[in-house]
């Protein structure tokens, strides 16, 4: 008797398990690096998505930012990995080249519709006429300044031109009589955001296009102005001593600690900076070369891509999930909860948002932002940092250094495009 | 029933003879020993040796970690490796770390051990103090040193400025960065050597010292004629271990150079760090494996030479 009831219970349990698995017959994996507000929001969004789409389950996996490439590469090598991967747009070409990604399915994401709905910057993930990923949110740069420091020097307005910025930075800088830097007028750096500032903002405003239109040729040294502006920009640190490279991310820490009066930072810095109630700060649009001159900004984004793991039903489920997390509704929640700017044209043009004292300068910056078409962001970044280090630490001549840098960057680009063909 | 047609006594004797023919007592013991060793041996074979051998295989293939294809390319990875400027720089740095680090750590370690050996009070306290850095996480130590080296606000530069000196850009200057990291590695690892040397010193029988005293040997003679020769096994061990350790230096450079890249301008990059960057930043597992194989060969050769050169039998 006992035995029989046990068998019955087991059978019932098995039926239940089978029923449960057949109901949730498609499970897709979504991977992103760990950033608390993003992780929490995605968890909530997944619940909502699953309720709207019975039969699809989304498994959310996170890992530390620093180990992004190791985690993903190791999983791929082991034949596993995500169906939908949240990836920095500048790393996407490397993953694409190796055949790890697939283009977004046309029936869910027609190219014209994407280009109508999203801001133009998103085209940085358009390769071979196809879109390979889509973002929920985008970021741009702006000038953060310490209002108290400005008041000390009697400055009431943020700088409008780079000349003004340097002049103000010189006045804001504080050193001991032995020359130790107590306060940087401008948190100068190359490893933070300022290598983008040089490439996409300063060069462009000085009339030098950093890349050819087809993204195949590096043109960072096309014209004497390029050498001029590289010299001048490195001189901010070297000659005028308004700030020093401190290491990645430390420019922001210095600003928060009141040890730097101005920094150029991305909208992703707002959260960390605003968490310090004692810091009296404000944001302004990036300066220009001359009043009325060309405006330029650097835009970037993390985008959701579909990997080769997603086939058949999984691909459909992945496409649906991607549609959901890039929808205008989610973008609106994303701005509130994570503080990242919407990638949708309509939302970005929202006048209320453009007038916001904190988000406004970033949103206005989006209009003229360029997202560099990287072929390998990490390698290109290392090359630029190395070139600037040569100028700063070894007194290398600017002309030769920039020419060599362009040559090296071109090599990386050639290798990439050759491997695609 | 039991025993069948043979009387039980005979059967037992037959069995014993049979078994005796197959295995001697010694062999039986060995079988048991290997049976117990099987698990760790299997562990080593699959977790240690197999991946190591697999690296040889990978080094002959072009394999981007993100790609499912691993075509065979012969020695191409090795050719690329030898043409890579950063690889040579990394190799040169690695030898600098080793050639300076090993003797420095040895002399400091032995020096402190000799002094501690004579300390009769609070012995455990002193030993613990010197050993503490060794058991502290490398990453934590590296970051603390990094803060101490900071310009303007770091404790070392403040101290220098208070004394009226110019600041030193310890980790930012390509000429000083490697030595700044080396200092930290030596400091961090010296505690382990002190403990080894103390153990070695304790193994030397007192009678040699007593005999030397009676013969009127001075302390120099005692050190060079008794202590040093009898410490030889310890010294060999320490030199071999620390050479391997310095040849494989990684975490310290990773954590003390900006973004773990071995800069500024590759002035601190070590071979292992370059392997890591090639594998996980460039995803070029083939070339990374080629470098691993090359480093393995270097470590092997150096270790064999050291064993031959430094191992001498000392008898009294």
Mutation to test the B interface, candidates A247, A260, A390, A411, most B Cβ within 10 Å: A247
Measured between beta carbons, which residues in chain A are less than 8 angstroms from residue B68?
A: 99
Closest CA to A398 of A245, A226, A266, A246: A226
Residue A60 or residue A336, greater confidence: A60
| Least Cα separation, residue B285 to chain A (angstroms) | 11
Interface contact A98-B172, CB threshold 8 A:
no
> What's the pTM?
0.83
Q: What torsion do the CA atoms of A322, A270, A360, A171 make, to the nearest 10 degrees?
A: -150
Question: Are both A311 and A386 inside the same structural domain?
Answer: no
Query: Residue A15: which pLDDT band, with cuts at 50, 70 and 90?
Result: low
For residue B40, what are the domain limits?
Answer: 21-48
Distances (CA, A) of B183 to A234, A247, B68, B152: 31, 21, 43, 20
Return the structure tokens found at A381. Answer: 């970044």
Res A18: pLDDT:
54
* Rounded Cα gap, residues A78 and A74, in angstroms: 6
Question: Are both A150 and A249 inside the same structural domain?
Answer: yes
Number of domains in chain A: 2
Question: Are both A211 and A287 inside the same structural domain?
Answer: yes
Q: Is pLDDT above 70 for A9?
A: no
* Rounded Cα gap, residues A145 and A185, in angstroms: 10
Measured between beta carbons, which residues in chain B are less than 8 angstroms from residue A385?
A: 263
Question: Are both B200 and B241 inside the same structural domain?
Answer: yes
Query: Residue A20: which pLDDT band, with cuts at 50, 70 and 90?
Result: low
Within a domain: A2: no
Closest CA to B104 of B200, B223, B185, B198: B185
Within a domain: A6: no
Res B124: pLDDT:
86
Q: Position of tokens 């004292």?
A: A357
Rg (CA), chain B: 27
Res B265: pLDDT:
92
Q: Which helix (H) or strand (E) holds A133?
A: strand A133-139
- B-chain residue closest to A244, CA distance: B151
Mutation to test the A interface, candidates B55, B61, B62, B66, most A Cβ within 10 Å: B66
3-state secondary structure of A157: coil
Res B4: pLDDT:
46
Query: Residue B252 maps to which CATH number?
Result: 1.10.3720.10
Q: pLDDT tens for residues A292-340? A: 999 999 999 999 999 999 999 999 999 999 999 999 999 999 988 888 8
Within a domain: B242: yes
**Residues with pLDDT less than 70, chain B:** 1-21, 310-316
Question: Are both B42 and B113 inside the same structural domain?
Answer: no
B315 shares contact with chain A (CB less than 8 Å): no
Res B123: pLDDT:
82
B261 shares contact with chain A (CB less than 8 Å): yes
Within a domain: B249: yes
Query: Residue A183 maps to which CATH number?
Result: 3.40.190.10
Considering CB atoms only, which of A69, A244, A389 is closest to B265? A389
Name the burial class of residue B37, with classes exposed (0-12), middle (13-18) and buried (19+) by CB atoms within 10 angstroms of its CB. Answer: exposed
Mutation to test the A interface, candidates B171, B283, B288, most A Cβ within 10 Å: B283
Question: Are both A314 and A180 inside the same structural domain?
Answer: no
Question: Are both B27 and B116 inside the same structural domain?
Answer: no
Closest CA to A59 of A89, A95, A26, A104: A26
Within a domain: A14: no
User: Once rounded to an integer, what is the mean pLDDT over residues A366-374?
Assistant: 91
Q: Lowest-confidence range among A66-80, A330-344, A396-410, B119-133?
A: A66-80
B70 shares contact with chain A (CB less than 8 Å): no
Name the burial class of residue B213, with classes exposed (0-12), middle (13-18) and buried (19+) by CB atoms within 10 angstroms of its CB. Answer: exposed
Q: What ipTM was predicted for this assembly?
A: 0.81
Alpha helix stretches (DSSP H) within B154-284? 155-162, 177-203, 206-215, 219-221, 228-230, 232-247, 251-256, 271-280
Name the burial class of residue B222, with classes exposed (0-12), middle (13-18) and buried (19+) by CB atoms within 10 angstroms of its CB. Answer: middle
Q: pLDDT tens for residues B299-312? A: 999 888 888 876 66
Within a domain: A8: no
Measured between beta carbons, which residues in chain B are less than 8 angstroms from residue A238?
A: none
Interface contact B66-A379, CB threshold 8 A:
no
Interface contact B261-A382, CB threshold 8 A:
yes
* Rounded Cα gap, residues A199 and A125, in angstroms: 19
Residue B196 or residue A22, greater confidence: B196
For residue A129, what are the domain limits?
Answer: 27-139+300-359
Within a domain: A355: yes
Size of interface A-B (CB pairs under 8 A): 67
Number of domains in chain B: 2
Measured between beta carbons, which residues in chain A are less than 8 angstroms from residue B67?
A: 98-100
Interface contact B263-A379, CB threshold 8 A:
no
Question: Are both A219 and A156 inside the same structural domain?
Answer: yes
Measured between beta carbons, which residues in chain A are less than 8 angstroms from residue B282?
A: 379
Res B3: pLDDT:
43
Question: Are both A288 and A255 inside the same structural domain?
Answer: yes
Question: Are both B44 and B91 inside the same structural domain?
Answer: no
Res B1: pLDDT:
41
* Rounded Cα gap, residues A398 and A302, in angstroms: 33
Q: Position of tokens 């399915």?
A: A105
* Rounded Cα gap, residues B281 and A412, in angstroms: 14
Rg (CA), chain A: 24
Within a domain: B286: yes
Question: Are both B32 and B166 inside the same structural domain?
Answer: no
Q: Is pLDDT above 80 for A16?
A: no
Interface contact A394-B172, CB threshold 8 A:
no
Within a domain: A20: no
Question: Are both B124 and B32 inside the same structural domain?
Answer: no
Q: Is pLDDT above 90 for A94?
A: no
Question: Are both B88 and B44 inside the same structural domain?
Answer: no
Measured between beta carbons, which residues in chain B are less than 8 angstroms from residue A70?
A: 280
Measured between beta carbons, which residues in chain A are less than 8 angstroms from residue B263?
A: 385-386, 389
Question: Are both A287 and A306 inside the same structural domain?
Answer: no
């Amino acid at each position: 008797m006992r035995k029989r009831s046990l068998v019955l219970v087991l059978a019932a349990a098995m039926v239940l398990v089978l029923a449960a698995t057949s109901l949730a017959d498609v499970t897709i994996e979504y991977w992103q690096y760990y950033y608390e507000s993003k992780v929490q929001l995605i968890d909530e969004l997944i619940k909502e998505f699953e309720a709207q789409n019975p039969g699809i389950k989304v498994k959310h996996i996170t890992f530390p930012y620093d180990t992004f490439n190791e985690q993903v590469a190791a999983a791929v090598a082991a034949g596993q990995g995500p169906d939908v991967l949240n990836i920095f747009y500048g790393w996407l070409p490397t993953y694409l080249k190796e055949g790890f990604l697939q283009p977004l399915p046309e029936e869910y994401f027609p190219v014209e519709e994407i280009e109508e709905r999203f801001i133009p910057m998103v085209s940085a993930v358009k390769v071979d006429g196809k879109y390979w990923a889509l973002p929920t949110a985008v970021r741009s740069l702006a000038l953060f300044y310490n209002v108290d420091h400005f008041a000390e020097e009697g400055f009431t307005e943020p700088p409008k031109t780079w000349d003004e910025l340097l002049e103000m930075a010189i006045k804001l800088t504080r050193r001991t009589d032995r020359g130790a830097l107590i306060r940087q007028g401008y948190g100068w750096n190359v490893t933070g955001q300022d290598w983008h500032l040089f490439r996409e903002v300063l060069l462009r405003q000085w009339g030098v296009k950093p890349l050819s239109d087809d993204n195949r040729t590096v043109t960072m040294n096309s014209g004497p102005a390029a050498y001029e502006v590289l010299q001048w920009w490195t001189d901010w640190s070297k000659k005028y001593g308004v700030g020093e490279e401190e290491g990645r991310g430390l420019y922001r820490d210095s600003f928060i600690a009141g040890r730097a009066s101005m920094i150029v930072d991305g909208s992703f810095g707002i959260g960390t900076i605003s968490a310090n109630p004692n810091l009296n700060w404000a944001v302004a649009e990036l300066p220009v070369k001359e009043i009325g001159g060309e405006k330029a900004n650097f835009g970037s984004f993390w985008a959701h891509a579909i990997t080769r793991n997603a086939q058949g039903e999984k691909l459909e489920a992945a496409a649906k999930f991607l549609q959901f997390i890039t929808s205008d509704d989610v973008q609106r929640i994303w701005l509130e909860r994570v503080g990242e700017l919407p990638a949708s044209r309509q939302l970005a043009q929202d006048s209320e948002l453009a007038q916001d004292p904190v988000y406004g300068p970033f949103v206005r910056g989006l209009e003229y932002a360029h997202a560099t078409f990287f072929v390998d962001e990490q390698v290109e970044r290392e090359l630029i940092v190395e070139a600037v280090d040569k100028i700063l630490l070894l007194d290398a001549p600017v002309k030769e250094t920039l020419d060599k840098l362009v040559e090296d960057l071109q090599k990386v680009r050639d290798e990439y495009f050759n491997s695609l063909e | 029933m039991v025993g069948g047609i043979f009387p039980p006594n005979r059967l037992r004797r037959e069995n014993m003879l049979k078994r005796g023919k197959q295995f001697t007592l010694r062999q039986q013991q060995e079988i048991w020993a290997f049976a117990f060793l099987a698990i760790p041996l299997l562990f080593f074979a699959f977790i240690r040796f197999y991946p190591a051998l697999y690296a040889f295989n990978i080094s002959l293939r072009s394999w981007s970690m993100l790609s499912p294809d691993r075509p065979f390319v012969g020695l191409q990875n090795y050719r690329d490796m030898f043409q890579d400027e950063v690889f040579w720089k990394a190799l040169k740095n690695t030898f600098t770390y080793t050639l300076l680090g090993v003797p420095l750590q040895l002399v400091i370690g032995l020096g402190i051990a000799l002094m501690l050996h004579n300390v009769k009070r609070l012995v455990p306290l002193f030993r613990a103090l010197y050993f503490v850095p060794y058991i502290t996480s490398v990453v934590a130590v590296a970051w603390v040193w990094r803060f101490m080296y900071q310009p303007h606000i770091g404790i070392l530069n403040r101290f220098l400025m208070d004394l009226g000196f110019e600041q030193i850009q310890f980790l930012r200057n390509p000429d000083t960065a490697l030595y700044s990291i080396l200092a930290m590695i030596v400091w961090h690892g010296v505690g382990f050597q002190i403990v080894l040397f103390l153990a070695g010193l304790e193994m030397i029988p007192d009678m040699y010292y007593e005999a030397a005293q009676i013969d009127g040997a001075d302390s120099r003679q005692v050190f060079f004629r008794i202590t040093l020769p009898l410490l030889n096994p310890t010294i060999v061990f320490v030199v071999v271990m620390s050479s391997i350790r310095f040849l494989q230096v990684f975490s310290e450079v990773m954590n003390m150079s900006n973004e773990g890249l071995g800069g500024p301008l590759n002035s601190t990059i070590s071979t292992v760090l370059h392997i890591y960057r090639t594998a996980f930043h460039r995803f070029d597992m083939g070339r990374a494996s080629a470098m691993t194989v090359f480093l393995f060969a270097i470590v092997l050769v150096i270790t064999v030479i050291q064993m031959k050169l430094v191992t001498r039998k000392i008898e009294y």
